[in-house]
Amino acid sequence: MKKQIRLRQENFDDLLRWFSADREESGSKYEEIRNGLVQFFYFKGCAGAEDLADETINRVAAKLSVLDLSKNTKPAHLFYGFASKIFLEYLSDSKNKEIEFNADLHAPLLNEGRAAENERKNHECLNKCLAKLALEDRNLIVEFYGGEKSEKIERRKKLAATMKIRSDTLNIKIYRLRNTLRKCIEKCAAEK
């Protein structure tokens, strides 16, 4: 990726003013755009979505004075253009590329043979990391990923009903638990 832009205070102030003359409103618009950018990079499959969102904002802010904003430009459209370019830069960065074929990853789940050594380590790490979760969170994520095909859908519906939450809330909760577990597993695997 290109050299990262450092945001100057005056550029940031200009950006907030462009969002709205009202400081409070501009603050909430800034947060809204930033959250949207984080989601954009996450669903594009980028690691470090927050950093990429900040880089997008910094670049927009730095260029704001030379951009033609007379045509009622919608912030989302402007940010999207910059974010798309940053995503391409991210992809061209060799460390983010898919550079090797991983036979283990491509093996269908139901036909896999004896676990490879690294997979065994991952299982050990998963065990350790699950043990660090609160009991209800551990049971939740194990239950969520249990079951096969059609049974799985029913199981998740029941899970949400039992917890008296909506299915989208359940998905957000699982997403957070997944992130916690992934970080823990990565740390554990690196220590082995």
Scanning residues 140 to 169, which ones bind other proteins (CB under 8 A)?
141-149, 152, 167-169
Of 76, 88, 161, 163, the residue at the interface with other proteins (CB under 8 A) is: 76
| 96 counts as binding other proteins under rule CB under 8 A | yes
Residue pair 170/159 in contact by the 8 Å Cβ criterion: yes
| 15 counts as binding other proteins under rule CB under 8 A | no
Residue pair 52/86 in contact by the 8 Å Cβ criterion: yes
CA 13 from centroid of its chain's CA atoms: 27
Residue pair 56/1 in contact by the 8 Å Cβ criterion: no
CA distance 22 to 9: 18
| 52 counts as binding other proteins under rule CB under 8 A | no
State the minimum distance, in angstroms, from the CB of residue 65 to other proteins: 22
Tokens of 133: 């979760």
Of 15, 16, 83, 86, the residue at the interface with other proteins (CB under 8 A) is: 83
User: Cβ atoms within 10 A of the Cβ of 183, count?
Assistant: 11
- Determine the interface stretch with other proteins among 5-13, 16-24, 60-68, 135-143 (rule: CB under 8 A): 135-143
Of 3, 6, 71, 77, the residue at the interface with other proteins (CB under 8 A) is: 77
- Determine the interface stretch with other proteins among 5-13, 15-23, 64-72, 90-98 (rule: CB under 8 A): 90-98
